Structure 1
Amino acid sequence: MSKTNTGEKFLGDLGYKLGPTLGEGRFSKVKAATSDKYKVPLAIKLMDRRRVTPDFLYKFLPRELSIIRKIRHPNIVHIFELIEGCDGLVCIVMEALATDLLKLVQHLGKLPCVPKARDIFGQVVAALRYLHDRDLVHRDLKCENVLLTADGHRAKLSDFSFSKEANSYSDLSTTFCGSAAYSAPEVLMGIPYNAKMADVWSLGVVLYVMVTGFMPFDDTSVRRMPQQQKKGVKYPEELPPLPEPCQALIAQLLQFSPAARPTVGQVAKNKWVKKEVCVTKPSPEISGEQ
């Protein structure tokens, strides 16, 4: 019997009915599901402990399970239940949302800066600030991991496969995590990095993608990407200029030096994010204490 069939039988005995596959990772599969217990559309992430690498089994999976047990925020995907079977099957039962940010951008080409991109971005910032305030880092922030309700008004951060605790500024990460296109230069260069500042870089890439419909850097050669990143971000010539406060924020988030980037708490206080941009004079790039 296949792993999927085994999971279906196991979950079926618990009252879950599995639907189509929503996504698939190296060691996991996410299936649509329904249950009389919760009576809302669900997504269930299935993992088999017997079919993963030792690194995933003893490091990444325990971190993910520990973190999702203790996080609750309106802009983070809600976890209803964590089920562990005696045969090694691990199932994370979560709310299902209609789409993700990447699909929305692909459908629309790009999002209007105001209010759509700003509203969604502000919600992602709120979720990331919640994590960082608790010394948790995401390490795989990208458009695909920002889920959206059907009306597009509510955004929720998902997928904590690479998340970990970062208890102090000196608690540096050494693992290459996430997608290269969203990765900070220090991550790509393989040097120990402050994961909070790497999350902030990824936040900048997400904002750039939202408002332009393009990736800020060519990721076809990961080895050459840091050279591009050091030169700074450019904008497609065919697009009309972005509002100056939005461009200024992207420039701050995509600073090559991690120390030059704002904290996510400072980003949350940015006047463009807070909808306090003054039309008569330029607003500060980043407000809040340095």
Structure 2
Amino acid sequence: MSKTDGGEKLLCELGYKLGHTLGEGTFSKVKAATSKKYKGPLAIKVMDRRRASPDFLYKFLPRELSIVRKIRHPNIVRVFELIEGCDGKVCIVMEAAATDLLQLVQHLGKLPCSPKARDIFIQIVAALRYLHDRDLVHRDLKCENVLLTADGRRAKLSDFGFSKEATKCSDLSTTFCGSPAYASPELLMGIPYDAKKSDIWSLGVMLYMMVTGYMPFDDTHIRRMPQQQKKGVIYPQGLPPLPEACRALIAQLLQFSPVARPTVGQVAKHKWLREDICVGNPSPEIPGEQ
């Protein structure tokens, strides 16, 4: 990690040409960038230690930096460089993508019975399996955290701000992480939770969203969500029938009881991920793709 005078001025001095802001959080922003040092478009996450909460500063940020240093997988966004400035700024330089899964679903309406939906989901599962096999949990799985390359052929999991190591089965999490719409029942109820099983629930929400274009549960009233979740998913009226294997997988992922949910290794072997369905359908167009 480089140590120098930090911030956007430092990035420019290091040869990065900064573009527009891609996203912004309470303590961070993500800027588009290019550099002669690395080929292709870049995204630089700039975090400000001075504005951060103690939890972010002493717990979440160190975990994120530790994890992104040691993970490398074709379906995980690649981090090229970590830069720290003496003004309290921390910058993560990573590869950029053309769009994300949420934008794709919104653009197309849904990805029902499509090789594209299955192929993207297979890649998400591969990334999550890589993490879980190394006792790492993501804890913020959602469609906007799956980036897609311009050709639409590769999905990459991103944003490890809530990730952590979970080395033992008994190592339960207590922190509320991620978006309520993707959160597991146990997390919403404030029960200490198995973060791997919570990731599996979020995976189910993502798959439902991909193939229907809708969220499975209404998050308008968060306290009532566990009651909905316990009843199971209801599919929108008028939706073309989904493959039975796909519906069965969604049901398994969205089991109310965490112990009833499969491991990510079991998900990877599921029938739907191995079927040839709707062969011959053209690949959906990626928004902005020329």
TM above 0.5: yes
- Superposition CA RMSD, Å: 1.0
Are 1:25 and 2:25 matched, yes or no? Answer: yes
CA–CA distance in 1 between the matches of 2:139 and 2:26?
17
Question: Deviation at 1:114?
Answer: 2.6
The within-5 A match list for 1:1-290 is 7-275=7-275
SS in 1 for 2:222: coil
Change (3 A) 1:276 1:239: closer
CA–CA distance in 1 between the matches of 2:269 and 2:89?
43
CA–CA distance in 1 between the matches of 2:120 and 2:136?
21
* Preserved contact between residue 8 and residue 17 of structure 1 (Cα < 8 Å): no
Question: Deviation at 1:251?
Answer: 0.1
CA–CA distance in 2 between the matches of 1:20 and 1:274?
40
CA–CA distance in 2 between the matches of 1:71 and 1:146?
16
Greater alpha carbon shift after TM alignment, 67-76 vs 33-42: 33-42
* Preserved contact between residue 129 and residue 265 of structure 1 (Cα < 8 Å): yes
Structure 1 residue runs without a partner (length 5+): 1-5, 278-290
Question: Deviation at 1:41?
Answer: 0.5
CA–CA distance in 1 between the matches of 2:255 and 2:26?
31
Question: Deviation at 1:150?
Answer: 1.1
SS in 1 for 2:83: strand
CA–CA distance in 1 between the matches of 2:194 and 2:215?
23
* Preserved contact between residue 47 and residue 90 of structure 1 (Cα < 8 Å): yes
* Preserved contact between residue 82 and residue 90 of structure 2 (Cα < 8 Å): yes
Cα shift readout 1:154-186 (whole Å, capped 9, x = no counterpart): 000000000000001110000000000000000
Q: Which amino acid aligns with 2:192?
A: P
Question: Deviation at 1:240?
Answer: 1.2
Structure 2 residue runs without a partner (length 5+): 1-5, 278-290
Using structure 1 for the length normalisation, give the TM-score. 0.92
Cα shift readout 1:137-158 (whole Å, capped 9, x = no counterpart): 0000000000001121100000
1:284 aligns with none
2:3 aligns with none
Q: Which amino acid aligns with 2:154?
A: R
CA–CA distance in 2 between the matches of 1:39 and 1:203?
31
SS in 2 for 1:219: coil
* Preserved contact between residue 112 and residue 242 of structure 2 (Cα < 8 Å): no
Question: Deviation at 1:276?
Answer: 6.2
CA–CA distance in 2 between the matches of 1:26 and 1:258?
31
Cα shift readout 1:247-277 (whole Å, capped 9, x = no counterpart): 0000000000000000000000112112368
CA–CA distance in 1 between the matches of 2:241 and 2:274?
21
Aligned structure 1 segments of 4 or more residues deviating by more than 6 angstroms: none
Using structure 2 for the length normalisation, give the TM-score. 0.92
CA–CA distance in 1 between the matches of 2:19 and 2:172?
40
CA–CA distance in 2 between the matches of 1:39 and 1:124?
24
SS in 1 for 2:223: coil
CA–CA distance in 2 between the matches of 1:25 and 1:122?
29
* Preserved contact between residue 218 and residue 225 of structure 2 (Cα < 8 Å): yes
CA–CA distance in 2 between the matches of 1:162 and 1:274?
31
**Percent identical residues:** 82
Greater alpha carbon shift after TM alignment, 209-218 vs 265-274: 265-274
CA–CA distance in 2 between the matches of 1:225 and 1:43?
35
Greater alpha carbon shift after TM alignment, 22-31 vs 117-126: 22-31
- Higher relative contact order, chain-length normalized (CA < 8 Å, sep 6+): 2
CA–CA distance in 1 between the matches of 2:199 and 2:26?
22
Question: Deviation at 1:87?
Answer: 1.3
Q: Which amino acid aligns with 1:150?
A: A
